[in-house]
Chain A
Amino acid sequence: MDSRKSIPIITLIILIFFPLIQFFPSVFGDQNYVLHLMLYAFYYIVMTSSWNIIGGYGGFISVGHNAFLCIGAYIAGYYSIMWGVSPFYLILLAGIGAGIFGFFVGLITLRVKGPSFIISSIALIMILRIVFDRWELVGGASGITLPYNSLSVEFSKFPHYYGFLILAIITIYMNWYVRHSKFGLALRAISHDEIRSAVAGINVKYIKVTAFVLSTFFIGCAGAIWADYLTYVRPNIFLIILIAANVVLMVILGGMGTVAGPIVGTIIFIAFNELILSYLGATELNLLFTGLLLVVTLLYFPNGIVGTLRNKGKLPRFLDWG
């Protein structure tokens, strides 16, 4: 089989069966933390791949996409308490809610580009923070507390692991589909020249807003699973700029506007961060070293790792998805 297909398929099979090692603690030991790291990576892959649709292809650098994560988490959290069901049953509702909210935000903010758009995305976080901190219906600053799942500790991460894995696969596929569709071609053209695109017959506003909604939908879905994983939803957990900054940096590291870039960037970013933490402890030195990693990487890979390797014709086939 072609390595372009075989390596991702083998990787996927390993990822599907990996949690089963928890059934053999005497052989593999307790791998709960590894499971946490992996589902954490899937969670960020959902966000980076989603963000890449509007940021990478569309050229709209949003530093506020965690607003939609928050909306998804609150929708799932609130209704799970109201209706007494697990947030897992509300993933789609969370995604739709985030998408509808994204539609209105996109209609307003996508009129501007560049620094103005970036500032508008930061403003969105700040506005939502004020709203949720004072909104008593959803617990104000204390937020909503959700029940733990009834699984024993060693298996308690299974639903979130598989939930995020499935969501990550769907998001990556969507990212690939957008990249190779007429929609994606129009989006990439718009990112470089809106006037040229419009006179070519492309409905610029429609494409931009649709791309924005698409990217917010999946992040909203991720919010529902993340809320269940954390067992609480609070403004100060979801509405911090660090989450959005991480997403943007991961995509830049991997390669904006590429399908594999967000995945590669996320894995390297998280792995490097964990490595530094394990050697230096929780000293915040990891932030310094992560910054250094970015500087050094971008010095040698100005278009991100995947983007630069592709431009040089050195990208391994299994990562060459467009």
Chain B
Amino acid sequence: MITIKNVTKRFGGIIAVNDSSFKVEESSICSLIGPNGAGKSTLFNCISRVYPIDEGEIYLGDKRIDTMPAHKIATLGVGRSFQLTRVLDELSVTENLSLHTAAGFDFHLLRAGVTKSDKERAEQIMEFLNITHIRDLPMKELSYGQKKLLDLGSVLMSDPSVILLDEPAAGVNPRLLETILDRILVLKKQGKTILLVEHNMELVMGISDKVVVMAAGAVIASGPPKEVQNNKEVLEVYLTG
């Protein structure tokens, strides 16, 4: 579904992602792991075109997407969340969710900000994530965990086929983590392709079909969780930090 082909991203003299390649199969969960500074989030930003890449190619199916602007990639069905939630405090909960339906050039931009169908879809998403109780709360009153779920919810609003989740478990309590984990598995069952960056090894090894390990910007191993767990190079990277 997603093919990363020899991607390199530099920031001045620093090579954040170095000639990295891997594939994410359709309707699977692929986890991107590695120590801090390995280039995981940078690669995420390259896939969603927050950063343009310097070398290589990125494909969604057979469509090359690294040359497209970020909004175009989103409209092709790639949704993403952020490591630090980027829900907008100045908008309401429903407006935050409806934002993903405000995309595009055409005349639906002239429609109401939050349409009836947006409200219905938002309601479905909130029910799916068990957050209907936050519907009318001001954004400033939401906890970090609730914002994390809302962030995930806003990604789901446009019904993307590929979901990029940047550290969905970071900073959330165990109960909420269970909810997030459960919902990710349901999304996989629904046929979604999920690529996630995560530090929580228990979560990664428990739900992933494939694990890709990065270190110093390069992919050093990839494969099923058990295979990666026993990879010497991976163990070395994690043991030496």
Contact = CB atoms under 8 A, between A and B. Distances in A.
B237 interface: no
B70 A199 contact: yes
Given A182-B102, A182-B111, A206-B105, A198 B90 contact: no
Interface stretch (A123-131, A146-154, A187-195): A187-195
A289 B42 CA distance: 53
B82 interface: yes
Interface in A45-79: none
Contacts of A84: none
Contacts of B86: 193, 195-196
Contacts of A189: 88, 91, 99, 102
B108 A182 contact: yes
Contact of A185 (B48, B99, B154): B99
A198 B68 CA distance: 12
B235 to A, nearest CB: 34
Interface in B163-222: none
Interface in B85-132: 86, 88-91, 95, 98-105, 108-115
Contacts of A183: 102, 109-110
A184 interface: yes
Contacts of B80: 199
A188 B111 CA distance: 15
A241 B115 CA distance: 41
Nearest to B96: A189
A310 to B, nearest CB: 13
Chain A interface size band reads 20 to 34
Given A186-B102, A188-B91, A193-B88, A198 B70 contact: yes
Nearest to B118: A182
B48 A199 contact: yes
B102 A185 contact: yes
A203 interface: yes
Contacts of A188: 88, 90-91
Contact of B71 (A182, A193, A201): A201
A197 interface: yes
Nearest to A191: B90
Given A185-B99, A186-B102, A204-B71, A196 B88 contact: yes
A180 interface: yes
Task: Name, among B104, B115, B158, the residue most crowded by chain A CB atoms within 10 Å (CB to CB).
Answer: B104
Contacts of A198: 49-50, 69-71, 74
Contacts, number: 94
Task: Name, among A185, A195, A204, A207, the residue most crowded by chain B CB atoms within 10 Å (CB to CB).
Answer: A185
B41 to A, nearest CB: 13
Contacts of A195: 50, 70, 86
A200 B102 contact: yes
Interface string A202-229: 1110110000000000000000000000
B67 interface: no
A201 B113 contact: no
Contacts of A201: 71, 74-75, 100, 102-104, 158
A181 interface: yes
Contact of B112 (A182, A192, A197, A206): A182
A183 B115 CA distance: 12
Given A195-B50, A202-B99, A180 B104 contact: no
Nearest to B73: A199
B111 A181 contact: yes
Contacts of B75: 201
Nearest to A189: B99
Contact of B110 (A182, A199, A202, A206): A182
Interface in A250-267: none
B45 to A, nearest CB: 9
B131 to A, nearest CB: 18
A117 to B, nearest CB: 19
A193 B82 CA distance: 12
Contacts of B110: 181-183
A195 B69 CA distance: 11
A133 B46 CA distance: 48
Nearest to B85: A196
A186 B70 contact: no
Interface of A: 179-186, 188-189, 192-193, 195-204, 206-207
Given A185-B95, A186-B99, A200-B102, 17 more contacts: A180-B113, A181-B111, A185-B98, A185-B99, A186-B102, A189-B91, A192-B88, A196-B86, A198-B49, A199-B80, A200-B99, A200-B100, A201-B71, A201-B103, A202-B71, A203-B104, A203-B105
11 contacts: A181-B111, A181-B113, A182-B115, A183-B109, A185-B99, A193-B86, A195-B70, A196-B88, A200-B158, A201-B71, A203-B71
